[in-house]
Homo-oligomer: A and B are copies of this chain.
C-alpha cells in the first residue's frame, strides 16, 4: 500500500480498471464498480475530469472585472475570474505561502486577490504583488498563482486542468459556434441558478440525461415535446398519424426559419469517438413551439440575440463529459455536472435571459424555471434509485433498448477515453 498523497489510486487499480474496460459488452450498461468504486472514481477524476474540457460557468456570471466564481472539482478549487483587461482567467484557489484558500465563496467580486491569512496579495492576472516580512532574496515572480486553462466560447466558459488539453476542442467549438452565435449568450444575465446534489455517480446523471425512454416520468417536460417518442415514420400507429403530420409541419417551418435567417440547421453527432464528443440538434417543439411551458408559449418576452422568430424550437447541445444546453428563442438553460464522490454528483442548472429583461416585467421566475426544476427533481429520484440498485451485488449489466443510443454513445465515449488515458 502506498501513501495516499493526493492520489489514492494505485497501479493495480489502474490495471484492473483497464481489464474491466476491455471486457465491457457493447449495448449493455457498465459493470457495477464503474458506478461505485472509490478507486475508479479517482481514475474518473484524473482521466476524465482533469483531462478534458469542462463546462463550468457562463460569462453572464462575470459581468465586471474582478467578478469571479469558484469551481470545486474533487479536491481542487479553481477561481474563474474576469481580469482587469476584461478577459477570462482561471487560477488554482491556493495561496503560494502556506496554502490557504484565497476565496471561500462560490462567487463574488474583488479588486486584487488578497489572502485572508497573511495578506499576500495577487493581481487579477495572478501575479504576486505584495507579501510582508520577506527576505530581500524572495523571488516573487516564482510565486504567482498557478494558472488553469480556460476558454470562453459564445458566452460559455470551459476549463481544463490538464497540462496539455485535448487538441480537438477548438475545432469542435468552431463548428458549434455558428449555431450558438445568434443567441448572443454574452449579452444575457443569469435569471436563476440551482445546484442539486444527486445521490448517484456522475455517469448515472449523464446517462439519465442522454435518453427520453423514461420521459413518462416528466409530465411537465413532455408538454413541450411531440408525443412520438420511440416511433418512426414507419411504425407510427394510426392514432398518432395526426401528431406525426403536425410534427413534420413544425420541422419544415423551423427549417424555413433557419434558412430565412441564414442560420445552420444540420444535425451534428460525434458523441463517441473523439475527445470532445458532442451532439447538436435543432428540434421543433409542440404547441406554440417556442419554449418550455405548458402550452409551448414563451416564458420571457425578450428574445435572445438576433433570433427573429419566437417559434424557434430547441437548439440542444450535448458535450462529453459533463454538460448539456437548451437554447430557445426566449431563454437558455444550461447544465453542468461535477462529480463529488463515487456516489454523489453536483448538477448545476443556470437559466439565462436577455441582459435587459426585467423580472416581473419581461418574465416571471416561477414560470421560467417550472419545467426544468420539476424535471431535475424527477431525474434526481431516478438517479438515486439506480445508484442504490447498481450497488447491489445482484446487479448485472442489462441490455439497452432501441431508444438508448445516446446512452450507449456516452458509455462508449467513456470507455474509449478512460482506456486511452490509462494506456497513455
Contacts and interface: CB of A to CB of B under 8 A. Distances in A.
24 contacts: A2-B16, A3-B12, A3-B13, A3-B16, A32-B99, A75-B391, A77-B388, A93-B389, A96-B396, A97-B398, A98-B207, A98-B386, A99-B390, A99-B392, A99-B397, A100-B382, A101-B389, A117-B382, A117-B386, A118-B214, A132-B401, A133-B403, A135-B402, A143-B398
Interface residues of A, number: 71
Interface stretch (A37-45, A306-314, A367-375): A37-45
Interface of A: 1-7, 10, 12-13, 16-17, 20, 29, 32-33, 36-40, 75-77, 92-101, 104, 116-119, 131-135, 138, 143, 146, 207, 213-214, 216-217, 230, 382, 385-386, 388-399, 401-403
Given A94-B395, A97-B399, A100-B386, A20 B3 contact: yes
A98 B398 contact: yes
Nearest to A45: B393
Question: What 7 pairs between A and B have smallest CB-CB spacing?
Answer: A92-B394, A3-B16, A99-B389, A133-B401, A99-B390, A97-B398, A99-B395
Majority SS of interface residues in chain A? loop
How many protomers of this protein does the assembly include?
Answer: 3
A401 B99 contact: no
A76 B3 contact: no
A37 B5 CA distance: 7
Contacts of A94: 389, 392, 394-395
A399 B138 contact: yes
A95 B3 contact: no
A146 B29 CA distance: 17
A97 to B, nearest CB: 4
